[in-house]
Chains A and B, each alone.
Chain A
Amino acid sequence: MFQRLSSTAAAVALAATFLAGPACAADKVKVGFVSTLSGPSAALGVDIRDGFLLAVKMNGGKLGGLPAEVIVGDDQFKPDVAKQLFEKDIKRDKVDFMTGVVFSNIMLAALPEALDANVFYLSPNAAPSPMAGKDCNADFFAVSWPNDAYHEAAGAFANQRDLKSVYLMAPNYQAGKDSLAGFKRTYKGKVVGETYTKLGQLDYAAELAEVRAAKPQAVYVFLPGGMGINFIKQFVGSGLSKDTTLLLPGFSADQDVIGPVGSAMSGIFNTAHWSPDFSNPANVKFVEAFRKEYGRTPTLYASQGYDTANLINAAVHDVHGNLKDHAALHKALKAARFDSVRGAFRFNTNQYPIQNYYVRVVSSDGHGGLVNKSFNEPILKDHGDAYVQDCKMKP
């Protein structure tokens, strides 16, 4: 009997050590990075990737002290391809974090793969309103901004500039809907037109004719990537740029658009949470390193990729590399103890950022090119989002 008791005790003790979980550090950090790296909007995904990889490189190829393996995949602007890549990264490569997606529709399609497997998804860009509110999830962190934010800032700026009538345009997908909802939330003037174009549409002749007929004082469009490049060129080509102010969110007025469009961008006002001329030490270091490594000025997308990598770095460091402890990792991510290039950074209760938003203007960089320069005073200060009260996540 005694023997049976001791062997049972031994079995229980053995089982207990397995149940307690290994409190040891993993030997590396695996990050699955899926983004749009081809097609007219490839510049966005490429910049996020380049910013992310730069941060890893500047940390000596490590995140949180552990060697980092970043598995990069191209979603080709197709939700089903992104879903397959997520599945491969999570099930076959067993990544610790997923990140990278540019577009909200692609992210929403692939996200369940990560959330169902309890893998953290840190969004370096897309942050749709449902995920800030009723669909919030403890494994989802938006490191960029809430989708509506840049547009709420633009609406506030339009008020400041006393723009009496505005014509709105955005693609017909979640981020497009969020964008115009955000603008209308803050804007106090008259909306003379609201058009949703097809996502990926590149020819805006018909829409521009409608804009001309509506005679607005200003036009506000959310058209990221190649869509914006084509729209702005066609806007100038139609002669509308002479009498109608073009107001943009930072998405359509950064280096990826300035390059192809050229001098027509000069003087355009746009809103963003970050600008390359921010003077905080983290940003100065980032912009200089990015220019040196890649030979171009970073866009806001690159800054977001960089910040996401540094968030992972800080969180893994805080849990001492113990990636298996999901709860501790979650707490470390939420604390966000890292130096963001945008300045002060903190998460709201729904794991979306609370931060400042600034007005930028496309100006000469002194070497014959164009770059964004920001106004010192933020247009929106310590701004969260309009959906946080719908989020039922435990804090």
Chain B
Amino acid sequence: MTLVLEQSLNGLQFGLMLFLLAAGLTLVFGVMDMINLAHGSLYMVGAFIGAWLVGLTGSFTLGLVGAVIGTALFGMALETTLLRPLYARDHLSQVLATFALILILNDGTRMIFGNDLPLSAPAALAGPVQLVPGLGYPAYRLLIIGAGLAIAALLYVGVARTRMGALVRAGASNREMATAMGVDIRRLFTIVFGIGAGLCAVAGVLMGPLLAVQVGMGENILILAFVVIVIGGIGSIRGALVGALLVGFVDTLGRTVLQDAFRAFLPPQMASAAGPAVASVAIYVFMAAVLAIRPQGLFPARG
């Protein structure tokens, strides 16, 4: 029983971090109709700024806050200078340009910070929290889950209840009509991009101690983020949340339940490889099914 609880928490934790990236990505794609491959690089930039600040100040909180602000500003600067000309272009041009941006940001980060930076969880959270007798779940992962849920709630309130959120939803729903209604699209786009970058930074700094803060860390998670927004629906935050939790749970399932199932008739090395592989296939098959049956995604933003 504790195993199921613990694995559920692990899936939830991974899913929520994926949600932070997917939320920004889906907003950018939904509102601005721009494919931004460099979204994963913003995640990397956020992690590096955070790791550097934590090293400088010794405070994890300061590092996190500084990284969010720094990455948001960096994202907005990037948007106003490099990315604005891309809105009018077709998706292929956007892919090519933002792919080039990935390479530039990778090497730029390497030049400024080096290939990797150490980042540790705050010492106070290094130990376990006794959730139920027999299950000491790492305190740091509980922090991640808490932060993810808090941000999801904030985004929901922001998008559903505020004027800015209404503008974002309008822009995602029908951009031309929103422009015709007098919305300052350019300022909206910059703010949306900044929010997306800030969300990336939160994910980057929080995941840094669990993974490694190194150049190229954004590329793997970017692909999963795209899968999530396709499943969830472009432009939909709710879709991003559902999709991310789905992917998070299936990934964790692959490493545990599926692996155990395979171990019944395969040698351990093959069972260990087969579990995650099948989980990965399952995610992509599900994405293909969504594209085939309901191409606009599970919770489409557009009418």
Contact = CB atoms under 8 A, between A and B. Distances in A.
Given A39-B116, A234-B210, A196 B6 contact: no
Interface stretch (A26-34, A123-131, A197-205, A270-278): A197-205
Given A172-B273, A233-B126, A260-B120, A213 B115 contact: no
B7 interface: yes
A168 to B, nearest CB: 9
A202 B212 contact: yes
A236 B126 contact: yes
A238 B126 contact: no
Contacts of B98: none
Interface residues of A, number: 31
A236 B127 contact: yes
Given A205-B10, A206-B255, A238-B137, A198 B276 contact: yes
B18 to A, nearest CB: 12
Interface string A23-67: 000000000000000111010000000000000000000000000
A40 B214 contact: yes
Contact of B2 (A196, A213, A226, A260): A213
Contacts of A213: 2-3
A207 B130 CA distance: 19
Contacts of A368: none
A21 interface: no
Contacts of B120: 233, 260
B158 to A, nearest CB: 29
A210 B263 CA distance: 13
Interface in B251-303: 252, 255-256, 259-260, 268-269, 272-273, 276
B111 interface: no
A153 B260 CA distance: 29
Contacts of A203: 14, 210-211
Contact of B116 (A40, A197, A230, A237): A40
Contacts of A205: 10, 13-14, 138, 141, 210, 252
A209 B139 CA distance: 15
Contacts of B272: 172, 195-197
A194 B268 contact: yes
A249 B135 CA distance: 28
A395 interface: no
Contacts of A239: 127-128, 130, 136, 138
A392 interface: no
A212 interface: yes
Contact of A212 (B6, B139, B210, B269): B6
B136 A238 contact: yes
Contacts of A236: 126-127
Contacts of B212: 39-40, 202, 226, 230
Contacts of B121: 233, 237
Contacts of A196: 268-269, 272-273
Interface string B111-136: 00001101011000011101000011
A386 to B, nearest CB: 18
B140 interface: yes
A245 B37 CA distance: 45
A206 B137 CA distance: 12
> Do most interface residues of chain A lie in helix, strand or loop, or is the interface mixed?
helix
A242 B127 CA distance: 11
A185 interface: no
Interface in B1-39: 2-3, 6-7, 10, 13-14
A18 B136 CA distance: 75
A177 interface: yes
Nearest to B6: A209
B127 A237 contact: yes
Given A172-B269, A233-B126, A202 B210 contact: yes
B256 A209 contact: yes
B268 A237 contact: no
B10 to A, nearest CB: 4
Interface string A302-341: 0000000000000000000000000000000000000000
Nearest to A214: B3
A234 B6 CA distance: 14
Given A172-B269, A196-B273, A209-B3, A237 B139 contact: yes
A76 to B, nearest CB: 8
Given A39-B115, A42-B115, A197-B272, A209 B259 contact: no
Contacts of B211: 202-203, 230
Interface string B193-212: 00000000000000001111
A202 to B, nearest CB: 5
A234 B138 contact: yes
A206 B272 CA distance: 12
A38 B110 CA distance: 11
A239 B138 CA distance: 7
B2 A212 contact: yes
Nearest to A171: B272
B54 to A, nearest CB: 14
Interface of B: 2-3, 6-7, 10, 13-14, 115-116, 118, 120-121, 126-128, 130, 135-141, 209-212, 214, 252, 255-256, 259-260, 268-269, 272-273, 276
17 contacts: A40-B212, A172-B272, A195-B268, A198-B276, A203-B210, A205-B14, A205-B252, A206-B7, A206-B252, A207-B255, A233-B120, A234-B210, A237-B139, A237-B140, A239-B136, A240-B136, A242-B136
Closest 4 pairs (CB-CB, A-B): A239-B136, A239-B128, A196-B272, A237-B138
Given A172-B272, A238-B136, 4 more contacts: A209-B256, A210-B3, A233-B209, A239-B130
